[in-house]
Structure 1
Amino acid sequence: MNDGFDERRAPRRGARVATIVAFAALVVAPLVTGALTAGTPAALLSLPAESIAVLLILLAIPGRRTRWLVAGAFGVIVVTATVVAALDLGFEATVDRAFSLVDDGPALLSAFGVVGDATGTLNAFVILGVLVALLVGAVFALARAALRAEEVTVRSGRAGRLVAATVTAVWIVCALAGVHSLPGIPFASADAASALAATSAQTAQSIRDQQTFAAAVRTDPYRTVPSDQLLSALKGKDVVVAFLESYGKVAVQDSTFSPGVDRVLRAGGAQLTEDGYSAQSAFLSSPTFGGVSWLAHSTLQSGVWIDSQQNYDRLTAGTRLTLTRAFENAGWRTVSVVPSNSEPWALGKQFYGYDAMMNSLNMGYHGPVFSYARIPDQYTWQHFYDEELAAAHAPVMAEIDFVSSHTPWTPLPRLVPWSALGDGSIFDPQPAQGLAPVAVWPDPERVQRVYGQSVEYTLGAMFSFLHTHDQRNLVLIVLGDHQPARIVSGAAANHDVPISIISKDPGVFDRIASWRWQSGVLPTQSAPVWRMDQFRDRFFEAFTP
């Protein structure tokens, strides 16, 4: 009986399908790099040079092992170029620059840590394992596709070689003539090769930049100023540099969420005035965008532009004078407060010169974590006050990193009565009452909304602290470290972040009158904008008679 199924035809159908899939993969895979770079799938309507080249090479060389090596190299090149393009896309969307092989290896480790904080360490390793397996599988699949295409071409004899030669000629003619599939999309492409060539050129440029950077680090006009003169106009003051995570210009201007942040700033500024404080504000241009906060911290502290991990490592391996070290040399007790650090920080002592360092292990916090933020900002303020400011003390200089506004910005803590903070366990119910990151991040509008709410909380905690704990001798420098990621900031956002100086001493503002900063804690569009590396020297100049 014949039911319509021919067992002899099934293998032939399978072979034809395999051949079609192999040629499709051979043509499409090298174009993915261009699609990612151009930001449009229209880039897939091209003819890739990489596929033509590997097929011609395979047709020309003998030996199955050698052909496997060539096909494997093709797979590695295409997959590597795709990964680099994806990393470029991710870095552009988060830190506003392309990925650098020289500079950004540690940043990938930091990104893994953020994923672990948001999803759990085990889930992060599972995700990493799946990604590695997919990449290895993609290399093997592309190699096998190239070999399949070569086998079919050989079996086709003269006709197959004629087709290969014709396709090659078409690519050359279209490349020379500048033929485009669509406006801006060349028909003859070499996207994967171009991406790897660009990465190689960028790597070479990064190496050359190292020499320029080394010269900038060595040039320090304040290295020879006697320590008893430097910063002497602040004698007797407690000086706090407060970095508010992801507090960028977009938080206060021209966004859907800035009106809410601005209301908090106006109300907080009015409360500061009632309590006897004054404030002046401006903007600083950060060397980083969307993350890698320590680049901003080190830039402000050292007066050198630190825009990569490599430069950070070179800076901290030397003896450049930091704000912290200058205060320590002048007799201040110096303190760092990094509530999301869970390990000892050797550079805090070796490079910055901190006398004491607080982190999640020694701040006495026994409450819940809020995604990345291990400790709510309100508790951080209270613990710092209890440890350093509450009793009679020698002048303190501190850098405090407030992390409740760190991505993924949810769930968020809420302010509680200061007298009820205790060991932080009062926050126990709050994470479950908020939104999980997985419930927010698929929707950009919800991401932007929770970002704005996180900044409102962080600023609200600061204003509430200053209202609750009168600080007559405090000079508070509060600023953002960088703009939030592109999903919040948008494609046109620059690197500017707000900065304010708050104090009850009119003499502090007399010293910085030449800066022409704006009154209050909410800078406007016309406020001065400095590069962040200019702050250290101008601060030294203002407060060194």
Structure 2
Amino acid sequence: MKRAIWAPLLAGLVVFLALVLPDRWDQVQPQILLQVPLELPVLVLLFALLPWRFTAFAAGLLLALLVTLKFADMGAQQFLGRPFNLVLDSHLLGPGWVVFAAAAGWPVALAAAAGTVAALGLLAFVLVKSMVVLARLVAGYRRVTGLAAAALTVAGAGLMAWPSQQLVAAGTSRLALTEAETTWASIDDLVAFGAEAAVDPFRAVPPDQLLSGLAGKDVLVVFVESYGRSALDNPWYADGVRATLAGFDRTLAAKGFAARSGFLVSPTFGGQSWLAHSTLAAGLRIDNQRRYDTLVVSDRSTLTHDFQRAGWRTVAVMPGITKAWPEAGFFGYDQVYAAQDLGYRGLPFDWVTMPDQFTLEAFDRLERRTPGRRPLMVEMALLSSHLPWTPLPALIPWDRVGDGRVFDGFAQAGDPPDVVWRDPGRVRDQYRRSIEYSLSVLASYIATRGDKDLVVIALGDHEPIALVSGEGGGHQVPVHVIAGDPAVLARLEGWGFTPGMVPAADAPVWPMEALRGRLLAAFTPAGGMAAVSRSAP
């Protein structure tokens, strides 16, 4: 008799908790237990009206899927700064696990993966079993339970008409509706994006006028990994990073360089750097993998193509590429240097394949010191500020870099990621130090290897994960245009960027996809840009 009483009570509690569970960690509060989920009487009504076995099985599986999506949303909010998207984010599970393994260690990652699969299976079993227990009970009293459930459903729906009331909730139903709407919207967006990518008026600019304001210059577009606005504004980092940027300014001034700085809005948050790279290159917002996949099979021109068409040698320096990169052909590079092409013989820095100083020195050796070469347009990724932010190298004299083995002592120093990541404070400190290192290395490279014909566009790819950037962080990243020729910066006067490496709080904030057009307009004569106007739809 006791079992007959406790089984449906326990089943009801399980279903109740699954229904009131929110999809954000910060909303997991005791007060959610005071809410009545409207879905509960609806389920009872369905059990009373429909064949209960099939209905219970289907409802249990559906609720298990929705609870899984709630946990996925919680994780995505932490790492991507937005809810999980079934259409756009499913491909991230594999790469996300690899990054987690790099931070926590492979044994922990394997155990976590196995535990996650087992937990999801157990979740589905428990919810289906609970639904069956409830449905069997309802089937024995169909008329009474059906009428009661119908009355409670109507009353609950009526209460929900008052927005201020918090007694009745339907968060799980809203989640299901939102997921369905988001899925359809994502599919529609891909169709619209394909049409948008096909329109590129800059193709009409004559090659002899395109970017002629940069004639003879080496142009380096340098992405600094995880360099977000929070590095300048968040009190955890602001003092150290701003001091590093002030030192950058002094280094530039001593060598005859100057800078202008502003902000861009990255299409991504916490990871997926390739979305930022492709957004800047194509002049289109590439904020999900499906858009990226659509882009790289299109005939869209990129910023690299623009420079290539105007006579530059185009180069990609990608120390994070360790496998085949078939999309490289789309972007228009004359030469791609992946990790294995740069000649690094030292130890890796956990996930980071090589220190930024080696990346810059290898590029200089392989390209800039080549006699009789054409001007270079380079897209480069600096990785030392990539998660897990430990271990970290230090800046050394450039003539000691060699094949990179000089950095082995740094690669073996300090605690490994699985130790550092037990303390959020230590993680944040390592992040700050990594940003300071990357910026210091870039400043030193410009001072040591730069000349009046060097132009550097340095920018962040995205904010770091929410644990590091802080809750509620946005998508803004700093951007700096650095040049040794004052005529280059003179062309940017209309941009409103802040002089120096520290952008003012009210410095312009542009979508990252706007930078390609801004650069082409700034360094192409008016006559060439007139062709853009004539060809625009």
TM-score if structure 2 supplies the norm length?
Answer: 0.91
Q: Is the 8 A contact 2:217 2:453 kept in 1?
A: yes
Of residues 5, 10, 17, the one that matches 1:28 is 17
State the Cα distance separating 1:241 from its structure 2 match: 0.2
CA distance in 2, matches of 1:471, 1:376: 23
Q: Is residue 366 from structure 1 mapped to residue 355 from structure 2 by the alignment?
A: no
Q: Is the 8 A contact 1:79 1:139 kept in 2?
A: yes
- Letter in structure 2 aligned against 1:386: R
1:354 aligns with 333
- Letter in structure 2 aligned against 1:29: A
Q: Which ranges of structure 2 fall in alignment gaps of 5 or more residues?
A: 526-537
Q: Is residue 317 from structure 1 mapped to residue 297 from structure 2 by the alignment?
A: yes
- Alpha-carbon RMSD across the aligned residues, in angstroms, is 2.5
CA distance in 2, matches of 1:280, 1:373: 29
Q: Is the 8 A contact 1:35 1:42 kept in 2?
A: no
CA distance in 1, matches of 2:30, 2:401: 53
1:5 aligns with none
The residue correspondences of 1:456-475 to structure 2 (distance < 5 A) are: 456-475=436-455
CA distance in 2, matches of 1:447, 1:175: 46
1:136 aligns with 121
TM-score if structure 1 supplies the norm length?
Answer: 0.89
Q: Is residue 258 from structure 1 mapped to residue 238 from structure 2 by the alignment?
A: yes
SS at match of 1:397: strand
The residue correspondences of 1:341-490 to structure 2 (distance < 5 A) are: 341-349=321-329, 351-392=330-371, 393-490=373-470
Q: Which ranges of structure 1 fall in alignment gaps of 5 or more residues?
A: 1-11
CA distance in 1, matches of 2:50, 2:195: 51
Q: Is residue 340 from structure 1 mapped to residue 320 from structure 2 by the alignment?
A: yes
1:302 aligns with 282
SS at match of 1:281: strand
CA distance in 2, matches of 1:330, 1:508: 17
CA distance in 2, matches of 1:343, 1:34: 35
The residue correspondences of 1:66-105 to structure 2 (distance < 5 A) are: 67=53, 69-105=54-90
Q: Which segment is superposed worse, 91-100 or 184-193?
A: 184-193
Q: Whose Rg is larger?
A: 1
2:148 aligns with 166
* CA distance 1:184–1:84, shift in 2 (3 Å): farther
CA distance in 2, matches of 1:368, 1:192: 48
* CA distance 1:471–1:477, shift in 2 (3 Å): same
Q: Is the 8 A contact 1:72 1:139 kept in 2?
A: no
Q: Is the 8 A contact 1:42 1:185 kept in 2?
A: no
- Letter in structure 2 aligned against 1:389: R
Q: Is the 8 A contact 2:281 2:303 kept in 1?
A: yes
* Identical pairs, percent: 37
2:104 aligns with 119
SS at match of 2:204: coil
Of residues 192, 204, 224, the one that matches 2:172 is 192
CA distance in 1, matches of 2:242, 2:156: 55
2:535 aligns with none
Q: Which segment is superposed worse, 371-380 or 431-440?
A: 431-440
CA distance in 2, matches of 1:153, 1:87: 32
* CA distance 1:437–1:73, shift in 2 (3 Å): farther
1:6 aligns with none
* CA distance 1:321–1:45, shift in 2 (3 Å): same
Q: Is the 8 A contact 2:267 2:287 kept in 1?
A: yes
Q: Is the 8 A contact 2:456 2:481 kept in 1?
A: yes
State the Cα distance separating 1:174 from its structure 2 match: 3.0
- Letter in structure 2 aligned against 1:175: A
Q: Is residue 48 from structure 1 mapped to residue 37 from structure 2 by the alignment?
A: yes
SS at match of 1:186: coil
